[in-house]
């Protein structure tokens, strides 16, 4: 089954609802460019509600090494996600698995991009432009995923309960990432939409 990540959580009740719905990865955003950015104190409180079997993904964008280290020291993250221009060496230096976001408005060849990140656990394909934060609710042209990159793919970018089945059938990703498509407002999740999103992921193989 396709794995489910819910990103941009900012409230404890939303963390609980995402876990109940079946998400196996939860994204906490530390990038200043994002309206879903968390301080370390709030992130610690949210992380404390996450069961051991669910992975916590820390999301960063063009931040210096010391900022990433400070977050890692304060919160037990399972995975790092880098959304900016970070290179492979920067991403892997922290000793944790990492996802690298791909700007599908700029990337013409996912396989070539993947070659530059040989240590990435997965590539996250998003609709943001170069230098933009994710979570903007835009869907990109899935036909732009032009070849098997040899690394697991996480599909993001405007995914919602209405389009997630078609997205999975078209792309067949390892995982999907829901953010703005399961929200009432940036960072404020809609529990019913998260539940429907996760159910539709689970049912995608049934047509």
Which tokens hold the place of 22? Answer: 């079946």
7, 91, 107, 198: which is the annotated catalytic residue?
7
Is position 7 annotated as part of the catalytic site? yes
Band of residue 205 on the pLDDT scale cut at 50, 70, 90: low
**Enclosing H/E stretch for 195:** helix 191-202
In degrees rounded to 5, what are phi and psi of residue 193?
Answer: -65, -40
* Whether the predicted pLDDT of 1 surpasses 50: yes
Quick one: how far is CA 158 from the chain centroid? Answer: 12
Mean pLDDT calculated for residue range 186-191:
96
In degrees rounded to 5, what are phi and psi of residue 69?
Answer: -60, -40
Q: Is 136 exposed, middle or buried (0-12, 13-18, 19+ CB in 10 A)?
A: middle
Q: Residue 196's pLDDT is what? A: 98
Alpha-carbon distance 6 to 50, whole Å? 13
- For 18-66, the pLDDT digits (tens) are 999 999 999 999 999 999 999 999 999 999 999 999 999 999 999 999 9
DSSP letter assigned to residue 205:
G
DSSP characters over 18-59? HHHHT-SEEEEE--TTSTTB--HHHHHHHHTTS-TTSEEEEE
The residue written with tokens 């609980």 in the block is: 16
Specify the length of the chain in residues.
207
Give bridge partners of residue 178 from the DSSP assignment: 6
Alpha-carbon distance 82 to 59, whole Å? 6
Q: Residue 145's pLDDT is what? A: 72
List for the chain the helix, strand, coil content (%; round to 5): 35, 20, 45
The pTM of the full predicted model, rounded to 2 decimals, is 0.92
Correct CATH for 3-206 of 3.40.50.970, 3.40.640.10, 3.60.20.10, 3.20.20.70: 3.20.20.70
Q: Taking each helix axis from N to C terminus, what angle separates 164-171 and 191-202, rounded to the nearest 10 degrees? A: 40
Q: Residue 58's pLDDT is what? A: 98
14, 107, 126, 198: which is the annotated catalytic residue?
126
- Phi and psi based region of residue 180 (left: phi greater than 0; alpha: psi -120 to 50; beta: remaining): alpha
In degrees rounded to 5, what are phi and psi of residue 16?
Answer: -60, -45
């Amino acid at each position: 089954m396709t794995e489910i990540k819910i990103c941009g959580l900012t409230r404890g009740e939303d963390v609980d609802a995402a876990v109940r719905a079946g998400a196996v990865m939860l994204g906490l955003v530390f990038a200043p460019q994002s309206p879903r950015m968390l301080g370390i104190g709030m992130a610690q409180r949210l992380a404390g509600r996450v069961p051991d079997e669910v992975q916590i993904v820390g999301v960063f964008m063009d931040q210096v090494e010391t900022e990433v280290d400070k977050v890692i020291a304060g919160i037990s993250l399972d995975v790092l996600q880098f959304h900016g221009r970070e290179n492979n060496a920067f991403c892997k230096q922290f000793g944790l698995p990492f996802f690298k976001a791909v700007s599908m408005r700029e990337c013409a060849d996912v396989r070539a991009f993947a070659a530059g990140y040989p240590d990435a656990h997965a590539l996250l394909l998003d609709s943001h432009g170069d230098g933009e934060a994710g979570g903007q609710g835009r869907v990109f042209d899935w036909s732009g995923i032009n070849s098997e990159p040899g690394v697991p793919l996480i599909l993001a970018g405007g995914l919602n309960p209405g389009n997630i089945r078609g997205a999975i059938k078209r792309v067949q990703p390892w995982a999907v990432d829901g953010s703005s498509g399961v929200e009432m407002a940036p960072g404020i999740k809609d529990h019913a939409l998260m539940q429907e999103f996760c159910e539709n992921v689970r049912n995608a193989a049934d047509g």
